[in-house]
C-alpha cells in the first residue's frame, strides 16, 4: 500500500526564484500588495464618506471663469457652501481679488462609533483688470453659491474696437 503524504498549501502564489528576489524593494512590494489585498474596505468599517472623496469637496481654489461679454467682462466663481457674508471682493491698484473662508463642523453619533469632523479652508483669487474698464460701475451679485462680477467697459473702450479686413494674395 502506498503511503499518502500531505503537502502544505498556501493561498499565496509561489513564484520561482528569479533575478530580482534578492532586491529588498521587490520583497517590500509583494508584502505591500498582500497587505492591501487583505485590507477590508473603509466603507464597510464605517458609515461616513471616505477621506479622499471628502477632501475633493474642499478644493484650495474655486473654479473661476473670466470672459468678455456685451460691452464688458464677467467673472463667475463657483463657491458652493458659502454665502455672501463669507466672501470679499476688492479692487486695488488695477487688481480685483476674490477671497473667502469656509468652515464646517460635523458631529455624528451612531451605535458603535462617534465621528467628529472639522474642516476649514480659505481661498484667494486675483485678476488684473483689463484696460478700459469703468471701475466705478463694477458690480457683484451672489446667488445660489455662484458669485458673478460684472466689469463694464468705458464708452471710449467700446468705440476703440475696429474690424480689420484680411486681404487675400
Among 3.30.70.1290, 2.60.130.10, 3.30.450.20, 2.60.40.790, what is the CATH number of 53-159?
2.60.40.790
Nearest one of 155, 107, 106 to 133, comparing CA atoms:
155
Residue with cell 458603535: 112
Name 143's bridge partners.
Answer: 146
Per-residue pLDDT tens over the stretch 120-150 = 788 899 999 988 899 999 999 999 889 999 9
The Cα–Cα gap between 20 and 157 comes to: 69
The whole-angstrom separation of Cα 97 and Cα 86 is: 14
pLDDT range class, residue 13, cuts 50, 70, 90: low
Kindly state the average pLDDT of the residues 17-42: 63
pLDDT of residue 89: 93
Question: Domain limits of the chain?
Answer: 53-159
Read off the DSSP letter of residue 41: P
Give the rounded distance of the alpha carbon of 47 from its chain centre: 23
The DSSP-derived string for 55-103 is HHTS-SS--EEEEEETTEEEEEEE-TT--GGGEEEEEETTEEEEEEEEE
Report which of residues 154 and 17 the model is more confident about: 154
Q: How does the average pLDDT of the chain come out, rounded?
A: 76
DSSP run (H or E) holding 116: strand 113-128
| Rounded CA separation 136/126 (Å) | 18
Take residue 4 and report the three cell numbers written for it: 499518502
Q: How far is CA 25 from CA 33, 83, 156, in A?
A: 12, 51, 68
- pLDDT surpassing 50 at residue 46: no
Amino acid at each position: 500500500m502506498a503511503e499518502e503524504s500531505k503537502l502544505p498549501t498556501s493561498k499565496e502564489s509561489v513564484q520561482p526564484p528569479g533575478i530580482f528576489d534578492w532586491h529588498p524593494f521587490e520583497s517590500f512590494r509583494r508584502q505591500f500588495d498582500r497587505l492591501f489585498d487583505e485590507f477590508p474596505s473603509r466603507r464597510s468599517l464605517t458609515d461616513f464618506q471616505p477621506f479622499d472623496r471628502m477632501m475633493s469637496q474642499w478644493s484650495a481654489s474655486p473654479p473661476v471663469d473670466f470672459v468678455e461679454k456685451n460691452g464688458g467682462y464677467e467673472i463667475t466663481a463657483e463657491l458652493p457652501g458659502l454665502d455672501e457674508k463669507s466672501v470679499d471682493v476688492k479692487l486695488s491698484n488695477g487688481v480685483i481679488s476674490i477671497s473667502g473662508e469656509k468652515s464646517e463642523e460635523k458631529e455624528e453619533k451612531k451605535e458603535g462609533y462617534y465621528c467628529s469632523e472639522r474642516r476649514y479652508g480659505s481661498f484667494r483669487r486675483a485678476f488684473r483688470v483689463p484696460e478700459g474698464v469703468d471701475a466705478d460701475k463694477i458690480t457683484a451679485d451672489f446667488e445660489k453659491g455662484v458669485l458673478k462680477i460684472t466689469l463694464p467697459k468705458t464708452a471710449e473702450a467700446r468705440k476703440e474696437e475696429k474690424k480689420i479686413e484680411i486681404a487675400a494674395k
